[in-house]
Amino acid sequence: MALTITPTVEVSHDPPRVLLTLDTTGYVGDTLEIYRVEGDTLTIVRDSETTPDIDDVTWIGYDYEAPYGTAVTYQVIVFASGTSVATATSSSTTVNETSAWLVHPGDPSLSVELVGLRQIGSRKRQITQSVQRVLGRPDPVVTADARSGVESSLSVGTSTLEQNEALATLIADGTPLLLNIPASLAWGVTYEWVALGDAEEARVVPQVGARPHRLHSISYLVVARPEGDLTPQRTWADVVSESASWTALMSARATWANVLTGS
C-alpha cells in the first residue's frame, strides 16, 4: 500500500507552478482534498477537492498559488463516505522565483510577470466613525465600525505593445488576482489577493510617436482568496494535434499523467 504526494517545482513555467503527483495505490475512497501547508496555515489547492473516485490511481494536478521563496509542504486527505480514512504529507518544497507576478486564479495562462514593477503605493486602512461632541464635556464620544482592509496601488511599466496588451487582457474580467512577490525583492509586500480598481495608462515619453513604453497605475483592495476552478490548460485539441491515433499517443506518452501534462 502507498499513499504519497510528491511536489515538483516548475519555475520555468509561465507562471511558475508546482506539479503535484499523487499515488493512492491500496486506498479506497470516493474523494480527496489536497492542502498547501505553510506553518500553521492550510490552504486547499484549487481543483483538488473535485477529484473523482481515487481507488488505485495516480493523480496529478498543479498549484499555481504557492508563495514565492517560502518553504511549503502538501497534505492529502482521503475520504470515504465523508470520513477521513488516510493522510499523507509531502517533503518540503520552495518555488524559488525571483520576479513578481500577477496570477489569474481561473486561467493562469493569462498571468503576467511584473518585470516593470516601479512602485507599490502607500497602504491605507479606512474607518467609518461617528463623532459626537457633548455640551460641557471636553472629549467627544466616538463610535466606529471595524477598520477596513488594505487599499493601495501598483505602478507597473511595460516596454512593448505585447506586454501592454497582456496586462490589459489579464485585468479585463475584473477577477481578483494573486499578487505574488518574492520577499527577496524587499517591497514590504509579498503575497496577497487583490481586487484591481481603475487602471490608468500613460506614455512614458509624452511625445506622440511609435515608442511603446507605458506606465500603468492601478488601485487595488486586498481581498479574500476567490473561489472557483481552473480552466483546463491542456485540451483534447492539443492531444489530437500531436498524435494521429491512440497507438501513436500511447507510444509518445507512457502514462495518462504524461498525456495530461504533455511530458
pLDDT at 68: 97
Q: What separation in angstroms does the CA of 110 have from each of 61, 86, 125? A: 18, 36, 30
pLDDT at 260: 61
- Counting as low any pLDDT under 50, the low residues of the chain are none
Nine-digit cell string for 43: 490552504
Q: Which residues make Cβ contacts (< 8 Å) with residue 31, sequence separation at least 6?
A: 49, 51, 52, 54, 78, 79
pLDDT at 29: 74
pLDDT per position as a tens digit, 93-119: 999 999 999 999 999 999 999 999 999
CB 234 within 8 A of CB 261: yes
Provide long-range contacts, Cβ within 8 A and 24+ apart, for 211-215: 212/158, 212/159, 212/160, 212/161, 212/164, 213/157, 213/158, 213/159, 214/157, 214/158, 214/164, 215/118, 215/155, 215/156, 215/157
Q: What whole-number distance in Å separates Cα of residue 165 and Cα of residue 216? A: 12
As beta bridge partners, residue 184 has none
pLDDT at 209: 66
pLDDT per position as a tens digit, 23-54: 887 777 777 889 999 999 999 999 886 555 55
pLDDT at 194: 96
